[in-house]
Every structure is written in C-alpha cells, then in structure tokens.
Chain A
Amino acid sequence: MKALVVERNVPRFAAARLASVLGSGRGAGIGPLQLLDADAPDRPGDDWFPLRPLLSGICGSDLATLDGRTSRYFEDMVSFPFVPGHEVVGVLDDGGTDHAGRALVPGTRAVIEPVLGCAPRHILPVCEQCGSGHTGLCGNLASGRLAAGLQTGFCTDTGGGWSTAPLMAHASQLHAVPDELSDQDAVLIEPTACAVHAALSAHVADGDLVAVVGAGTLGLTTVAALDGMVRPRTPCTIVVGAKHANQRALATSLGADQVVPPDQLARAVRRASGSLVLGGRLTEGADVVFDCVGSAASITESLSLVRARGRVVLVGMPGKVTVDLAPLWHRELTLVGAYAYGSEATPDPGTPDRRSFELAIDLVGTKGLGRLVSALYPLERYEEALAHAGAAGRRGAVKVAFDLRNPKGRTR
C-alpha cells in the first residue's frame, strides 16, 4: 500500500515555497511530500476503526501546507510525519460504530468529521466546546492519547486520506454515507459541512443582501448552503463574485441570484443595495459577506462590500495578511471566522441540534454536489493532481481528488 507522506524537512518546505511562486501546488515534486510504502497506523483504542479511503479531496489548506504558506499559528497543531487528506470517503472493511453510537456493518461507506477534539483524544471530562457540540473549537489539539494534530490529515497517529492504506477513524468522527450518494458526492461532504456551518452561523436575516467572494469549492458550497439551508426560512438575495465561466454557471445553478466576475461584484452589490459610493467604498452594502478566499485582497474587498454594522464571515483559511482595518473600526463591522463544523441549532425549539455533517450529507444529496468533483487522480500522479488543484479555477475545475479505489471497482 502507498501513502503520500509529509516529513518535517525545512529545506523541502523552503523549496516548495519557492516553487509555489509559479503557482500553488507546483512544488509537489520538490517539497515535503513523498509517495512511500505504508501500512495502516496502529489503532489508538477500541473505539477506533480502520477506514480504507475511496476518494480523498485536495483542499486549499492542504495546498497551503504543501506550498509552505500556512500560517505559523498552526505549527504546534501538527505532528510529523503525517499523511494529508481530511476530505475522505472510505469504507469500513471491518465495520465500526458511528458518532451516535450506531453499529456500522462491515463494508459500510463512511466519511469522517476530521477534527481531533476531546473525544478522539479520550480526554475526560471533555472541554466546554466539545461538550456543547462545537468540536471545531476544541483547544485540546495536542494532548490526550494522540499526537498533536488539529484534524485527521495533520496528525501522525491517525493517518490520512491520501493513502491506499486505511486511516484510523474514531467512532465520534464517523458518519455513514447513504447509499444514494455517489463517492463523488460523499467526498464533498466535508467542505460542504464547513459551508453549512458558515452559512448557519452568519446571522442572515430576512431580506438580507448576501455577497459571496470567491467561487471555488468553499464559495460554491456556501452558495448551496445559503440557498438550501438558510433561504427556505430566511429569504435573502445572494450575489456572487466568480472568476471563471464554469464557476459562474455552477453558482447560478446552485441558487445564486446574481453571479458576476470579481471586478463587477462591487458594482453589483452597490446596485442591489441601492448604495452610494464614497471614496471607492459603498455607503450601504451587503448585510453579510462571505469571504471564501481568505487573502488580504479578498478580506479588504469584503470589508468594502459590507454595510455599516454588517458581518464579514471568513470561510476561506486566511494566513498572515495586511489589511486596513479602518473601515472595520469606523463602520462597526463584525469580522468573524467560520472554521470547520460542529452542532447547528435548529430554528424549532425542542428539536435537537444537528451535526453540521448531517446537514451537509442532506445538502450534498439535494444539490447534487458531487458534480463539483472535476478530476480524479491516482496517488502515483500526485504532482499532476496538486498542480491541477492549485490551478483549478483557471483549468475549469472545482474539486480535484485522489482516487484510491481498486481500478476495477471504480464506479461513479
């Protein structure tokens, strides 16, 4: 069995960072990633189950890690060597137990909720955040029974999705995949859960104008979540800035009311909000802006698009950026992060909260999000895969993933 492994190798990280100047993912061949023979990691406990990956997506955070561009903030939340891949659909060859304690028979397809909080680490009592279901906010990311690692795919003890060998999944992480979902649908559940969490925690109100900056996987799944999860109860208008033609078509089909090229987004928001313009900024603007890019430019743009006392939600992973925060101060804006997933409150009193992942499983099915998977690569062609993922939009793609299935057993 093979796995792509990231070693702690400073010269290789430096080389990858240099190569990434040519484009994200371009340094795969000289960076810290290597294709090695691998076995499944040891089971950390009885409540851990081997999950043999079928498909595993390439996320922007994976590319940032491999490009050496990740914020140093995460340095202590990673343990080396690790196998990347946290967007995973796999099969439980030996069966297992899911997050709710339900038995899963051998052969069950499952996805993992990759955050490694208190429960996988066997920390008792669990922290307040985990206790309230907000596992993404757990601070215990380097203690307990596992080595440091904020998620599966960044922890040396669990393995990761970019492997033909099984990774280890804790019961609390496992969600069975309904039969009606394809593998492609299932591999989109993790990023969709991020989008669901962002959309549901953004306090969108009736009649709001919502702008989405960026239309990669996160931008598109955010549009799907807004349309599918928010809008049925809270009517709002969704305007999207999308760079590439295929992204514009997808954003429209997923429910956006208006999709424009990025350089037209400010004008579209101005028109939709009936705003004036003052010094290049809108006097009104969108009620909520989702920044699904996470760059200095996108954060600056988001701050310029939002109305006074409006909310900017950072969905894309930012790093160390330089941003003029004068408008945030002057217009009393709220700049808030939306990381990963957790428990989402339901609007009906008495109805229990649901995991972001459960909602994402529903949404992926209703919206047919498997169509966002544009290309599948075998592990051996990882350099091509990463280069493709790094230039996904420009090359007409959205999600690029590794196909880890036996070639004979591949189905859509």
Chain B
Amino acid sequence: MSPRPGFVLDVDSSTPPTLFWHGERFSLEKLPEGSRVIYAPEPMEPLSDPQAAIRHALTHPEGDQEPLPALLFTGMRLTIAFDDISLPLPPMERPDIRQLVIEQVLDMAADAGVDDVELIVALALHRRMTESELRHAVGDRIYDAFAPNGLLTQHDAEDPDNLIHLGKTDHDEDVEINKRAAESDLLVYVNINLVAMDGGHKSVATGLASYKSLRHHHNPATMRKSKSFMDQHKSELHTANWRMGRLIRDAGVKVFQIETTLNTDTFPDAFKFLQKREWEWKAKDRIAFLGASKALDRVPARYARQIFHSVKAPHRMTSVQAGEVEAVHAITTANVWEQQGVVVEGQTDILTMGLPYISPYNVNSILNPILVACLGLGYFFNLYRGKPLVREGGVLIMTHPTRWEFNPVHHPSYIDFFEQVLSETTDANVMSEQYEHGFATDPWYIHLYRTGHAYHGVHPFYMWYWCAHALEHLGAVIIVGGDAKAVHRLGFRAASTMADALEMARDVVGPSPTLTHLHSPPILMADVQ
C-alpha cells in the first residue's frame, strides 16, 4: 500500500485533541472548531537495496560529470567531506547513511589505487563532533582507519593555515574555504538532505567556509530576503551560496556531490504515536502516549532530555543521487518535496506549532531559548513554499518550556548573547552592527570552538538572524508554557495555556481569527497556494 499524502484536517466537534510537542514532553490541545491541522505525508517506502542504489548513483552521475571511478587515479589527493551532527534529526539508527556512502567511495578509491585520502567533517561554525558521534556517523571501521592517523579531521574555520581564499564573487563576497578540500584533485561531498534547504552549493560554500566567507550571507539582510529557505529560487541565502559555489567550481575545485534523502519515519515504536493522526490512534497508541507522558512528567527535565537524545530515528533512505552539484540538487529537492510537501490553501491568522526537544544545533545538548526562537521562527516558520502559512501581521503560537538554561560547553557565547546582547536589543540589524564583530573575534570563543566542542562565538547571532524574516512578518510571537522571564528576554509574549495564548492572539489579529496548526512530527513543508 502506498503511503498516504499529506492532509489538511478541518477541526470540528468530533475532532480529538491535537498533539503538541512541548520540549521533552507533549500536550494535547483542543483546537477551536474551524481550525486546520496540517499533517505530513506518511513515510515513503525506502530504497529496497540502498547499497546498490549508492553504487548506481556513483557510477551513473547526474549532469556534466563522469562516474566516480573515472575520476579516481593513483597519486591523486582525494578529500571526502560530509555533513556534521546537525543532520539528520534525530540522529539515525546505525548504519548512518554517511557510513554507507563513504564506504563505497573508499572502496572505489582503493580499487583505483588512491592512497592520499582524507575525511573532513563539514561543520562550518558548528561545534566539533565527539568521537562517539563520529563513530556513529562514519562507522567504526572508517573511524579506526582514519582518525588515529589524523586523516579524519573536523573543518576549522579559524585555522588560517588551512584556509584558502579563492576570490570574490561579482557581489564582492569573499570565498574562503578549507584548503585541503580546495586543493584536492577531487572533493566528494556526502550530504544528508533532511529538508529542501540542505545541499546544493551550500554544502561546500557554507560547510567548509570561514567566518570571513559566511558573513556575506549569514546576515540580517540576506535572511530577510530568503522567503523561504526551503525555496531555493526565492532564498537569497541560496542565491549567495550558488554564486559562491560557482566561483569555487570556476576556481578549479572539482566537486563530486552526493545527496541522499530520507523518509519521515522519525521515531521508533515506543513513540510511533507521535507521527500518527490522532483520530487514528489505536488503544496501543493511547497507552503509549499515556505511559510516555506520565513517565516524562515525573522525571526531571534533564533526564527526559537524556531519554530523547538517546533515541535514534529509523529513517530510511529514499533516494541517492550523485554527480554535478546543481543537477544532483534539483533531483534531491524534488524528492524532498515529494516526501514532505503538503498543499495548503491560503494563509492563516494564527499559526500554532509544538516545538520538540531538538534542533540542528543541540543534538545531545540543551535547546536553549535562542535555539527555541530559531527552531520556531527560523525553521518551522520557513517550512513553506509560495507564501508563509501565517499572514503578514499574524500571530505565531509555539509551545515549549523555554527554560533559561544553556549548555556551557556547547553554547558558551549563547549565554553571553542572551545575557548581554538580547538584554539590550532584539533588533538583528543593531546587534549585527554593534555586537557581532566582538563575538566573532573573541579569542575565548575561538579557542573553545577550535579545541573544545563549542559553537563559534558568532553562532547565536546567526540563530537570531534566521528569525529575521519571521520577526519582520509576524504581528506577535507567543510561547505557551515557557519560562516567562526567558520568553520576555526574547521579546516574545508568554502564555500559560493555549486558551490564554489564543485570547492574546485575538488582540492582535481580531476577534474571529483563522487558525492553522503545523503538526509535527514528522516534518512537512507547506506549499501555500
């Protein structure tokens, strides 16, 4: 039986309460009659033989590109870059796609007699991965063969000895990327394309870039002009990356792009109810929901967090394509939309969403208030093509505990950003002009980024910039069940219940608003007509 497509439910009196994420917990909310709930398509059937599909992709490339074996030769320098811990979400069950793909690339390289091979985690300004995270991503065999010899490294955007400036685009944008990758005879980039935003020229131009390069597109102006990040052709972020990617190509960097898509089978059996439509819950689902809810309610948040971060997703690969960057990415994007796209008629006055415990930037960590804002306003708000789900001047209501809590190892500059910058301004332009440079060049943050497991000092600014389009578009942002002090620091409104939030929203959008709920998991993208 083929998976059912996405669906927009009109809420009536018989509609059961709707599930909302609330961080490490859930709630059931009775939405007003007449509301709409957008459900994602069901998970697509995975590839029956992923190994064969990978081999086929590598030997039958897309676009103007030779098969991978033809690009490999004795004496060459081969670099394999791959996505970091931020993908996929949640981390997938072993074997990770990266392992499957890299193993085949390495087998082909070995067959061609290639000796000089290095692996690089394309983490841009993200935190360095731990050994266990790396082992999970690439598998023990690859890790043990490369890491002890220094051949599995993590991109260092602050290492002047291992960066190379390739030139400037016609928009005066510096293009500076990892030197080893740029100077290799072939750069193979292995992607996991969780959403339409991932991949394409963004892989190398962002994942292997320096702050000097990234600042040209990770800024408030670019983010405001990206409508949305999921729609490459209307995203200034992508346009800038495409300019840079083409410059990288024209500078002689040969990139063999490998992109993979996943189905949306996001949670294992114990949490399967999360991705089912509530009116289709069976007794087993209700029992699982009640059991999980009661158990999670009883344990401290940090234990609930540990439980969820130990969850590995049963995602399965639905496609793999390789070859020339742009040709590959066009296919990938279509595949992502096929899995996640839902046609939605018209915008809404109020958009509600439940925010989970995880975002790309807090795997095995805390979803701090800045990441809460970014997840809701930067990511979920932007899960659209065409028009935003919520109308201009509308209200976004999110549910999340939004604790004043940070992981000091992973997010040290976030703490200072929250305490010192957000206490002064929530205006992205002001913070960009007055504070960004200081954070970006702070020697302590740079030290922690390079030697520890800290996100770069500038990263919280980027998280805030991700919100810029939504903040400009929305009339108000309300967080239900959040720490009021933290919510107010973000510049948002705090409500203790959904009913209160709806009352507050009516003050902004009028007494009889339309309401749409973006149901997750699994992830979906709205094609708003």
**Interface set of A (CB-CB < 8 Å, partner B):** 258, 260, 264, 267-268, 270-271, 274-277
Contacts and interface: CB of A to CB of B under 8 A. Distances in A.
Which secondary structure dominates chain B's binding surface? helix
A207 to B, nearest CB: 16
B444 A258 contact: no
A264 B443 contact: no
A271 B443 CA distance: 9
Given A267-B415, A271-B438, A258 B443 contact: no
B420 A277 contact: no
Nearest to A264: B419
6 contacts: A267-B419, A271-B442, A274-B442, A274-B444, A275-B444, A276-B444
B416 interface: yes
Contact of A260 (B419, B438, B442, B444): B419
A276 B447 contact: yes
Interface of B: 415-416, 419-420, 438, 442-444, 447
Contacts of A268: 416, 419-420
B443 A267 contact: no
A274 B445 CA distance: 10
A75 B207 CA distance: 69
A260 B447 contact: no
Nearest to B419: A264
B447 A258 contact: no
A276 B443 contact: yes
Nearest to B446: A276
Contacts of B442: 271, 274
Contacts of A274: 442-444
Contact of B420 (A260, A275, A276): A260
Given A264-B420, A271-B442, 10 more contacts: A260-B420, A267-B415, A267-B416, A267-B420, A268-B419, A268-B420, A271-B416, A274-B443, A275-B443, A275-B444
A276 B416 CA distance: 14
Contacts of A260: 419-420
Top 8 closest pairs, chain A to chain B, by CB: A276-B444, A264-B419, A267-B416, A274-B443, A271-B416, A276-B447, A276-B443, A277-B444
A346 to B, nearest CB: 36
A271 B420 contact: yes
Scoring B415, B419, B438, B444 by chain A CB atoms within 10 A of each residue's CB, the highest score goes to B444
A102 B415 CA distance: 57
Scoring A258, A271, A277 by chain B CB atoms within 10 A of each residue's CB, the highest score goes to A271
Contacts of B438: 271
Contacts of B419: 260, 264, 267-268
A276 B442 CA distance: 9
Nearest to A267: B416
Contacts of A270: 444
A260 B416 CA distance: 11
A279 to B, nearest CB: 14
Contacts of B415: 267
A227 B442 CA distance: 27
